[in-house]
Structure 1
Amino acid sequence: MLKIHVLLCFGMAILYFGSTKAVTPEESKAFEAFAKPLIEQCQKDFGMDKESFAQKNLDEIDECLIACVVEKFGITNDEKIDGDALKALVTKFVGNEEERNKINKIVEECTEDANKSGDGTCNTSTILFLCLLKNGKDLWGF
């Protein structure tokens, strides 16, 4: 199972398209500047310090912590994943049109899956997150 420090490095992998396959170093830094404080705020909200967070396996993380990050990213709407908002975030941080289109295809599939399979709680965000990890391995670089 992936360690959480990997998730932090990949912006919880929801949107962190920081692999060299998808974005430039500048885009990666811009996303990190956007995402890191939001992730850290969720860690704080859940009483988790950086060190303990970094040592956790994915299956040890409260689903609602993932939902917190998704919410702070502004990609939820009435307990559903807002695919359009997620695509807008991709557009903001991924300049390469070909890579952006690949990512948006994954976003569409994962948003649909999460909204269909999730129960409208923290579970929906976790389904999105796991789908992005699974389907975006080549783009994410792991």
Structure 2
Amino acid sequence: MYTTLQLRWRRACTALVSCAFVVCASNDYTFAQQARQGMIEELQQRFGLQEPQVRGALGALLLYARERLPKPEFDEFAQAIPDAYHIIDQVKARGVVTRPLDDIGDYEASLASLGIAHPIAEQFAPAVIELLGAAGHDNERDILTRLLR
């Protein structure tokens, strides 16, 4: 049998471990969210682009991926990109992509309508791959790498 002091000690330890778990889980979520939200800002700074240009280039890349992946795999992939489905809708509405993107060259050419010249267009998808990996989205990084070969 436990004494009253042992029961109190046990409850206090359980509460402390529970709180520590919640704090750690919360911090992991916060860091992951910051990394995902930072992708757009990072791409803006890296390439000197405006937010609509980055969202357009991401949207075109998402459409490129969606045309090549089974729906469940694309849905998993899209979770790593902040506001992925909204960005896709914006790209369609703005006419950034007006036809199927048959290869990566078509993707890069579609960025011209956003004012993104070839040297930057060529570097954009590899930068997204790098940022996915840096944010801990290794599976999504590998999916996109495979699609760009």
Q: TM-score, normalised on structure 1?
A: 0.31
Higher helix content, 1 or 2 = 2
Compare CA radii of gyration and give the structure with the larger one.
2
> Which fold has the larger relative contact order, with Cα–Cα distance below 8 Å and residues 6 or more apart in sequence?
1
Q: TM-score, normalised on structure 2?
A: 0.30
